[in-house]
Amino acid sequence: MKAHDGLYIDGAWRPAGSRDVIEVVNPVDEQVIGHVPAGGALDVDAAVRAARAALPAWAATPAAERAARLTALRDALVARKDEIAETVTAELGAPPEFAQAVHVGLPIAVAGSYAELAAAHSFEEKVGNSTVLHEPVGVVGAITPWNYPLHQIVAKVAPALAAGCTVVLKPAEDTPLTAQLFAEAVHEAGVPAGVFNLVTGLGPVAGQALAEHPGVDLVSFTGSTAVGRQIGAAAGAAVKQVALELGGKSANVILPSADLAKAVNVGVANVMANSGQTCSAWTRMLVHRDRYEEAVELARTAAAKYGDRIGPLVSARQQARVRGYIEKGVAEGARIVAGGPQSPNERGYFVSPTVFADVTPQMTIAQEEIFGPVLAILPYDDEEDALRIANGTVYGLAGAVWAGDASEAAAFARRMDTGQVDINGGRFNPLAPFGGYKQSGVGRELGAHGLAEYLQTKSLQF
């Protein structure tokens, strides 16, 4: 796992304009494992110019050929899957099995899905006396987070390339090594020079320069709602398109007819996966008051089983943030039934799997995204009360509903203000649109809906 000391621009690794570097730290033992360039505005400009120059030829490339490049990219990722998993474990702290199955397995599936979509998509349609063309938006500035470092990259770059767009990627500064491996895979796949470019750097420097660059036609950002607001404002001022996948505070609604043990156990597992660093995690569990204490005991037992089986948080800053939320939960009157703010390890950025009971909807831990292994369990009186609580945050990214009958759960899910709901533990579908209502974002990722974000329409009247 050797870090490149350059940026991938116009098909080659080249030195950054400044000598500033970013230290990459292993969150398990707090050791520095590599350095990457901290690119700046001049580097972003060079990358955008390369993407702009490559755009006409790539946009004119037949969809079948773009699909072939995406298939080759998927194959290159498959060939490197062990190296990628080891890198994700090293810079994010993800347990090796989870890194292989989810951090590598999911993006490989998504890359393959876009190879198929690029080949199958109809880039023009007839509407009355018009022919409507689906054309690439242009140069895409992609800004990705650290929590799923490869998946978030693939979920933007693959549909952009399928659509005929060119891309400049600014990955999260905590996990840049995975992004470098992705750039190597793109190169191996024979994607033409300038179609994909990588600039590692800090968000307020390289990220802001990319979001504001006049040569960028669409900014696709995944991360916090606070930063999403800034990017949306910058894009709006320049009248450029924006796709924002932001925070969440998703509700796991367990209706009285549900299999309580299964719903609670799956719900706890959902929150603890990836150490709670998942925007769509079901961090609020809603249980009818009659079965509330039973659910709390089930959650306590389930959380205790995780012990040290979950990885650390990505950084000292994230560890301090999550501990602060746990302390705030206690201060506001919630009851800790598992875990707590203390670290279970002397070294590393670990936080114990934590479960809160006696949580009210107004508490900070029931309203704000914590982004750690912290579950809040809230009681409700009846179905209308559950719906009010579920819809009672600024977010609307995901959720879950459990009931004895799937149609009962689906009827409740239809009333939730959220972009995705799992019914009785329904599996994640990489072809289904992913994205949020309200302050959880603008636009959708994955599948045909994700491809549509990178296309614009032109109508020819005959």
**Whether residue 268 is found in the same domain as residue 339:** yes
- Residue 1: what pLDDT? 66
Q: What is the CATH number of the domain that holds 291?
A: 3.40.309.10
CA distance 375 to 299: 9
Instruction: Please report whether residue 435 resides in a domain.
Output: no
Instruction: Please report whether residue 80 resides in a domain.
Output: yes
Residue ranges making up the domain that contains 366: 251-430
Q: Per the residue annotation, which of 245, 369, 445, 453 is the catalytic one?
A: 245
**Whether residue 406 is found in the same domain as residue 457:** no
HSE toward the beta carbon, residue 390, CA cutoff 13 A: 33
**Whether residue 186 is found in the same domain as residue 42:** yes
- Residue 344: what pLDDT? 86
Q: What is the CATH number of the domain that holds 146?
A: 3.40.605.10
**Whether residue 264 is found in the same domain as residue 200:** no
Q: Per the residue annotation, which of 173, 212, 279, 408 is the catalytic one?
A: 279
- Domain count of the chain? 2
CA distance 391 to 210: 34
**Whether residue 237 is found in the same domain as residue 260:** no
Place of tokens 């060939």: 79
165 is catalytic: no
**Whether residue 113 is found in the same domain as residue 218:** yes
DSSP string, 9-22: ETTEEE--SS--EE
**Whether residue 311 is found in the same domain as residue 209:** no
Percent of the chain clearing pLDDT 90 (strictly above): 96
CA distance 78 to 85: 11
Nearest alpha carbon to residue 417 among 271, 221, 279, 250: 250
**Whether residue 256 is found in the same domain as residue 236:** no
Instruction: Please report whether residue 92 resides in a domain.
Output: yes
**Whether residue 271 is found in the same domain as residue 224:** no
CA distance 403 to 260: 9
CA distance 87 to 80: 11
Distance of CA 175 to the CA centre of its chain: 13
Q: Is 129 exposed, middle or buried (0-12, 13-18, 19+ CB in 10 A)?
A: exposed
Instruction: Please report whether residue 452 resides in a domain.
Output: yes
**Whether residue 218 is found in the same domain as residue 190:** yes
116 is catalytic: no
**Whether residue 344 is found in the same domain as residue 424:** yes
Written as tens digits, the pLDDT of the chain (462 aa) is: 678 999 999 999 999 998 999 999 999 999 999 999 999 999 999 999 999 999 999 999 999 999 999 999 999 999 999 999 999 999 999 999 999 999 999 999 999 999 999 999 999 999 999 999 999 999 999 999 999 999 999 999 999 999 999 999 999 999 999 999 999 999 999 999 999 999 999 999 999 999 999 999 999 999 999 999 999 998 889 899 999 999 999 999 999 999 999 999 999 999 999 999 999 999 999 999 999 999 999 999 999 998 767 999 999 999 999 999 999 999 999 999 999 998 888 899 999 999 999 999 999 999 999 999 999 999 999 999 999 999 999 999 999 999 999 999 999 999 999 999 999 999 999 999 999 999 999 999 999 999 999 999 999 999
**Whether residue 239 is found in the same domain as residue 281:** no
CA distance 218 to 242: 5
Q: Are 73 and 111 in contact (CB under 8 A)?
A: yes
Q: Are 247 and 271 in contact (CB under 8 A)?
A: no
Instruction: Please report whether residue 1 resides in a domain.
Output: no
Q: Are 414 and 370 in contact (CB under 8 A)?
A: no
Q: Are 91 and 24 in contact (CB under 8 A)?
A: yes
Q: Are 308 and 339 in contact (CB under 8 A)?
A: no
Strands 196-198 and 166-170: parallel
Instruction: Please report whether residue 134 resides in a domain.
Output: yes
The single-letter code of the amino acid at 50 is A
Instruction: Please report whether residue 77 resides in a domain.
Output: yes
CA distance 77 to 378: 42
The set of residues, in sequence order, having a beta carbon less than 8 Å from that of 361 and lying 6+ positions away, is 367, 378, 389, 392
Q: Are 194 and 110 in contact (CB under 8 A)?
A: no
Instruction: Please report whether residue 2 resides in a domain.
Output: no
